Structure 1
Amino acid sequence: MSKIGLIIKREYLHRVSKKSFIILTLLMPLMMVALVFVPLWLSSIKGSDVRQIAIIDTTGKYAPLFEDVDNYHFIQSDKSLEEYRNSPDKELYAILQITDDLLTNPRAATLYSEKQVPNELSRIVNQTIRAQIEDDKLATFNIPNLKEIIKDSKVSFNVQTIKWGEDGKEQISSAAVASVVGIIFTMIVYMFVLMYGAMVMSSVVEEKTNRIVELMVSSVRPFDLMMGKIIGIGFVGLTQILMWGILSVALFTIGGFFYAGSLGTDMATLQQGMQAAQGMGAAVEMQPGAELFAMLSTINFREIALFFIIFFIGGYMMYASIFAAIGSSVDNADDTSQFMAPITILLVFALYAGIYSMENPDGPLAFWCSMIPFTSPIVMMVRIPFGIPLWEKLLSVVLLYGSFIGAIWLSAKIYRVGILMYGKKPSFKEMIKWLRFK
């Protein structure tokens, strides 16, 4: 095995065998699934405590409108506010006082409580009173059946979008679904490029600080040492991504099955609706679950996965080589901040450019940022689910891979000089001089 191969093997086995890598690989998918399903499960749990709300309505018009809900029991009361305030009985959770016609005096209703009033209770009170005020307002126009007319005139419209395939086949599509898929892959690229690029830098700094690198460069060329470290850690990242993907799909499938079962959802009906939608397009009325599956079926996940790997490798190799050059130029981790700031700002800009590109995936911002090598690995992953032309993808890949080869060549020149320099923190100007050394 070549020396660079030995370095790759050492870096890979050393990191995947760590307990922290194993624990993080196993826990992260569990955390992602928990973030989705635990709130759904908790929201379905109804509290056993029923809070009593007293209503003091001097008009007598609003109190009968309130109906009990799961967490609140409304009581029509003839006591005064002072009687409740001075009473030793603290069983009441809140008191709603209405002293005047709210159509003419909207500030005549006040909700009192010894605790902060929850949003749920405020919403119930506001919705109930607002409905009555609207009815009173409509009655002032003296138009027969005006309420029914307005009710009938209200319509809910949401245009259905259909995606044409190359063979003319129609499928339901959704820009929202494509945006969610794109931003998920974008965040993964951003997170892993930053995380594993920084890991390359910290590894170089650690070996340089411990003087281990002096022994290694006596038998291995600095370029081989740098490339072995970059590729080895890159394989660690790909391994973790693959494991996260497999575990996440499995856990989401299991979680979705149990959650759908708990809601009594007929999965066979959903699948039939999805198949019907794929075959008949907009002519079929589907259940929401089946419609979501039909929308997801219009996204080419194989293409996204392929380009995700391509852009992840290109983006990681370019940034990791820059991080390796930075790590070789300093003596300790504290000195990396001045060099890390521009790189971090560039990655954050790429992330925000990707987020804003969701609104217009074919706009100038999205197009040019998907061509610039420093931002293309992140921005392009937002655009791919929307179905951009193949030539744009290929041009972006060519520019990215050409740039990362150039970045590796420049970083290797800095690495070979900086790896054996101690006691002085170089400036950008001095690092540029190192590029001219032979």
Structure 2
Amino acid sequence: MKNILLVLKREYMVRVKKKSFLIMTFLAPLLFVGFYATVIWVAVGSVESKTVQVLDQSGLFTGQFQNSKTINFQYLTMSLDSAKASLKATKSTALVYIPEDVMENPKTVKIYAPKNVSLELQSDIEKTIEKQIESIKLTEAGITRRVLEDSRINVDSQTISLSEEGEKSSSSGAATAIGGICAFLIYISVFVYGTQVMRGVTEEKTSRIVEVIISSVKPFQLMMGKIIGVALVGLTQFVLWILLTVALTSVAGAMLGDQLPKDPQQIEQQFNDLNKNMPASALKANSGPANPVSEVLSAVNSLNLPLIISCFLFYFLGGYLLYSALFGAVGAAVDNDADTQQFMLPITLPIIFSFVFAQFVLRDPDGSLAFWTSIIPFTSPIIMMVRIPFGVPGWQIALSMVLLVLGFMGTTWLAARIYRIGILMYGKKVSYKELAKWVFYRG
């Protein structure tokens, strides 16, 4: 055990002191927050105001085009030729021409511009004209638009889970999002940190440093020290990423606070102001909580967060340990990265398949595919994390955990048999037949 701890400490300290580790640990949250801050800034503050002239010869659309922060509509009372001639002089973005017979020929509407207008602007203009024509035709038929809007019903159901503790509010959307995020994190971590183990073993083997190390520790102790050491590096990086992302998000939120509502009451007031001009059907559809932040928090709080977090840590470590042992065996069996491809495919296929199966499990979390793939150790770390937010019987979780531990012990035994022979093998192309001999080799 002492030797394993020594190897673990060495693997951990060597990696966390690398410039690449420090750069990625601090750069990744900056890139993440910077990306979304840029998107928000572009969406909120970088769109310039445009002036659009409207020449309505039908007289049906005066005042129907609503001004916004980005578009200002001006109504003209001149001829079309004069309007086109003055378009460039006024530096307007576009000129909307609506002929007298627009009711009979809606396709005669034209948009003149010094250069091509954006698809969004064209769509907004067309929707406004279409809506007004529809209102006029409905009125002529004896149906007002308000009656039509009131007839539209938006059903927003509430999901409630029945458990031994009684009725409890639940959220399918939150369960899907949390399960998908947890599965994706495990999927990425197995690849990233498992590959680090394999490359670390290969580098020590090719540089012949391992010959010196093996004289002091057993191959199994060396392999376990590497696996656990890299696992701790991964956990350290995850924790730092979370802390830095939260801190940077808070700073970015404060910087964008002038353009976004700061107080939930302000958000609620904006919703109330918007509801004043909405039809009755829309008010019914929006009769839930006015604050979207509270809706998100309520959806997340409806989940069993302690169970999800504890299971995530277990399956994160269990999945990594199971696969990293095999990655370490591959690194010991080859002399360079090029030779690893033939042995990487059988290891990575279960991981890829489990991530693909997760898309189907989200549709039916209690189906037979979901059950069996969440029990098999090679797919359970990803699939079970997809299922847990939806609710999984305790015996299934316990069975999955026990089999995952047994699977880790099995892959560790298999990897150790290959590791003890392959770590000192040089200059030989290894085949699957040769690996099988190493597994059953005595000595």
Q: Shorter-chain TM-score: which interval?
A: 0.7 to 0.9
Show the counterpart of 1:435.
439
**Deviation by residue 1:341-389 (Cα, 9 ceiling, x = unmatched):** 3433432222222233222221233222211211111111111111211
- Structure-2 separation of matches of 1:81 and 1:8: 82
| 1:162–1:173 Cα contact (<8 Å) kept | yes
For the 8 Å contact 2:326–2:412, the answer to whether it is kept is yes
For 2:62 and 2:419, how far apart are their aligned partners in 1? 78
- Cα distance, 1:380–1:116 mapped onto 2, change above 3 Å: farther
Pairing 1:308-327 to 2, within 5 Å after superposition: 308-327=312-331
Percent identity (aligned): 40
Alignment correspondent of 1:275: none
**Residue of structure 2 equivalent to 1:265:** 263
1:184 to 177, 181, 187: 181
Quote the offset at 1:116 in angstroms.
4.6
Structure 2 match to 1:337: 341
What displacement does 1:252 show?
A: 5.0
Aligned letter for 1:123? S
Distance 2:428 2:86 in 1: 75
Q: State the distance in 1 between where 2:190 and 2:332 align.
A: 19
| Structure 2 residue 242 is matched with structure 1 residue 245 | yes
Q: 1: CA distance between counterparts of 2:163 and 2:185?
A: 28
Unaligned runs of 5+ in 2: 269-286
Give the superposed CA RMSD.
Answer: 3.2
Over 3 Å counting, the alpha-carbon distance change for 1:205 and 1:285 in structure 2 is: closer
Provide, for residues 186-219 of structure 1, a one-character-per-residue CA deviation record: whole Å limited to 9, x for no partner. 1111111110000001111111121212222233
Does the CA-based 8 Å contact 2:87-2:95 persist in structure 1?
A: no
Corresponding residue for residue 204 of structure 2: 207
Shift of 1:259: 6.8
SS of the counterpart of 1:172? strand
Match of 2:213 among 204, 216, 226: 216
CA 1:227/1:114 → structure 2, altered by over 3 Å: closer, same or farther?
A: farther
Q: Which residue number in structure 2 is paired with residue 157 of structure 1?
A: 155
From 126, 146, 149, the equivalent of 1:148 is 146
Counterpart in 1 of 2:4? 4
1:125-174 Cα distance to aligned partner (Å, 9 max, x none): 1321121132244245x33x443321221222201123455432x54321
Change in CA separation of 1:349 and 1:130 when aligned onto 2, cut-off 3 Å: farther
Deviation at 1:422, TM superposition (A): 2.1
SS of equivalent residue, structure 1 residue 383: helix
* Aligned positions of 1:329-368 closer than 5 A: 329-368=333-372
C-alpha displacement at 1:24, in angstroms? 2.4
| CA distance in structure 1 between the aligned counterparts of 2:376 and 2:85, rounded to whole angstroms | 67
1:44 is matched by which residue type in structure 2? V
Deviation string 1:298-337 (CA, Å, 9 cap, x unpaired) is 2222211111111111111111011111111221112222
Aligned residue number for residue 276 of structure 1: none
- The residue number in structure 2 matching 1:174 is 171
8 A Cα contact 1:56 1:63, kept in partner: no
What is the match of residue 281 of structure 2? none
Once residues 31 and 64 of structure 1 are traced to their aligned partners in structure 2, the CA distance between those partners, rounded to angstroms, is 45
Bigger shift: 230-239 or 288-297?
Answer: 288-297
Residues 1:81 and 1:386: Cα distance change in structure 2 (over 3 Å): farther
- After superposition, give the CA deviation of every residue in 1:221-246 in whole Å (9 maximum; x if it has no partner): 22221111111111111222233334
* Paired residues of 1:196 and 1:237 also in contact (CA < 8 A): yes
SS of the aligned residue for 1:65 comes to coil
Equivalent position of 2:66 in the other structure: 67
Residues 112 and 246 of structure 1: CA distance in aligned 2, closer, same or farther (over 3 Å): same
How far apart, CA to CA, are the structure 2 residues paired with 1:266 and 1:372? 45
CA distance in 2, matches of 1:401, 1:79: 82
Distance 1:160 1:9 in 2: 51
Instruction: For residue 83 of structure 1, report the CA deviation from its aligned partner.
Output: 7.5
Q: Which residue of 2 aligns with 1:228?
A: 225
In the TM superposition, what is the alpha-carbon distance from 1:185 to its structure 2 partner?
Answer: 1.4
Q: Is the 8 A contact 1:16 1:22 kept in 2?
A: yes
Cα distance in 2 for partners of 1:115, 1:171 equals 57
193-202 vs 286-295, which deviates more?
A: 286-295
1:38-94 CA deviation, whole Å, 9 max, x = no partner?
5445433264x4322233445443465223322222334445479838986482322
Do the aligned partners of 2:264 and 2:291 also contact (CA within 8 Å) in 1?
no
1:392 aligns with 2:396: yes
Letter in 1 for 2:216: S
Provide the C-alpha distance between the structure 2 equivalents of 1:294 and 1:50, rounded to a whole number of angstroms.
Answer: 37
Change (3 A) 1:357 1:334: same
* Deviates further, 401-410 or 21-30: 21-30
Q: In the alignment, is the contact (CA less than 8 A) between 1:371 and 1:399 conserved in 2?
A: yes
**Separation in 2, partners of 1:216, 1:46:** 59
Query: Any idea what the Cα deviations from partners look like across 1:240-259, whole Å, max 9, x if unmatched?
Result: 22333344455556666887
Name 2:304's counterpart in structure 1: 300
Q: Does the 8 Å CA contact 1:94/1:114 hold for their aligned counterparts?
A: yes
- Checking the alignment, whether the CA contact within 8 Å between 1:328 and 1:418 is kept in structure 2 is yes
| Contact 1:171/1:295, CA 8 A, preserved across alignment | no
1:269 offset after TM fit, Å? 11
In 1: Cα distance, 2:18 partner to 2:66 partner: 59
CA deviation string 1:246-303 (max 9, x = no partner): 4445555666688789514247999xxxxxxxxxxxx996643323322222222221
Q: Is the 8 A contact 1:182 1:381 kept in 2?
A: yes
Unaligned runs of 5+ in 1: 271-282
| Letter aligned with residue 359 of structure 2 | I
Any idea what the Cα deviations from partners look like across 1:88-121, whole Å, max 9, x if unmatched?
Answer: 6482322334447455434323434454532431
> In structure 2, what is the equivalent of residue 193 of structure 1?
190
Find the counterpart in structure 2 of residue 13 from structure 1: 13
TM-score of the pair, normalised by structure 2? 0.84
Aligned-partner Cα distance in 2 for 1:25–1:402: 33
**In structure 1, distance between residues paired with 2:266 and 2:117:** 44
Which AA in structure 2 matches 1:423?
Answer: G
Amino acid at match of 1:6: L
Task: Check the 8 A contact 2:84/2:112 in 1, yes or no.
Answer: no
Q: For the residues of structure 2 that align with 1:300 and 1:247, how far apart are their CA atoms?
A: 25
1:402 is displaced (CA, Å) by 0.8
